[in-house]
Amino acid sequence: MQRLFPHPADDITLLEAYSAERPGSAERPWVSLCMVSSLDGSTVVDHTSRGLSNPTDQALLLVLRSFADTILVGAATVRHENYGPPKAAHQRIAVVSRNGDFDFDLPLFTSGKAIIVLPENAPAVPVPSVRAGTDTVDLALALSALARDFGSRIIQAEGGATLNGMLVAADLVDELNLTISPQLSGGNGSRLTVGAPASAQRMRLAHVLEDDGFLFTRYLRAR
Ligand SMILES: NC(=O)c1ccc[n+]([C@@H]2O[C@H](COP(=O)([O-])OP(=O)(O)OC[C@H]3O[C@@H](n4cnc5c(N)ncnc54)[C@H](OP(=O)(O)O)[C@@H]3O)[C@@H](O)[C@H]2O)c1
């Protein structure tokens, strides 16, 4: 793995490259979004991200998870990518959903590591939950509730595009770790975000790494 920017260097490890201060607080957890995209902007091939990834990208996901206490993910991604429980004992997976319609016999939900993030008026669920907003989740309030009730300070958001759109709409993305996969994938797959109103939230480039034609970019909130 080589670093192209800043300070070009060979043989950089993922841990070296991505270790950084992430100043999350009880008032406002740090939100780091991790995604992989094709050159033509798609985030899926055949309904999952697997066809866009490579072993280094998969290793990166684990390194980034190691910095987080909470993994935030959209309900459709949990369903499409068969999310299991997190490996680290201290981690929780918080799943954002409108209605909490899941198979609660799946290992993610029987593990005791799942939290469902729901609107106030959603039906009851048999696992711990956080509730914020009416009809749809108010993510800013939900993150505060995760901090208050579950001690969340560093949140690794892992998509999909609908959840990302909600995060962007609420101006909650502090860090974006975007892998650019060296392929034109065609199709009609979602880009990184869908559903957010048009805006221009400036991000600052923190680094670019390269491995096997894949680019591993890290951006931080510019303000
Ligand atoms: N390339 C990548 O890095 C990457 C990363 C992650 C996922 N993906 C892919 O992206 C696809 C899924 O993305 P997606 O955009 O369809 O779905 P998503 O963001 O994973 O989840 C969407 C779901 O979240 C819930 N939701 C959405 N808006 C909500 C709101 N305002 N309030 C409460 N809940 C809300 C709803 O859940 P309910 O239906 O339960 O109400 C909705 O169906 C999958 O194919 C996955 O493989 C790619």
What is the per-residue pLDDT across 189-200, written as a single tens digit (0 to 9) for each?
Answer: 999 999 999 988
Q: What confidence score (pLDDT) does residue 47 get?
A: 87
Q: How far is the CA of 12 from the centre of ligand 1 (A)?
A: 33
pLDDT of residue 92: 97
In angstroms, the CA 217 to CA 148 distance is: 31
Reduced to 3 states (helix: H, G, I; strand: E, B; else coil), residue 60 is helix
Give 48's DSSP letter: B
Q: Determine whether the shortest distance from the Cβ of 82 to ligand 1 is under 6 A.
A: no
> How would CATH label the architecture of 2-6+28-46+68-221?
3-Layer(aba) Sandwich (3.40)
Question: Which amino acid makes up residue 36?
Answer: V
CA distances to 4, 12, 26, 59 from 148, in Å:
40, 37, 7, 30
- Mutation pick for ligand 1 pocket among 71, 97, 167 (CB with most ligand atoms within 8 Å): 97
Count CA atoms within 13 Å of residue 61 on its CB side.
15
User: Which residues of the chain fall short of a pLDDT of 50?
Assistant: none
The whole-angstrom separation of Cα 29 and Cα 171 is 13
Q: Going by CA atoms, what residue is nearest to atom 10 of ligand 1?
A: 160
* Å from CA of 113 to ligand 1 middle: 19
State the pLDDT at residue 108: 97
Cβ of residue 162 lying under 6 Å from some atom of ligand 1: yes
- What pLDDT, in 10s, does the model give residues 98-111? 999 999 999 999 99
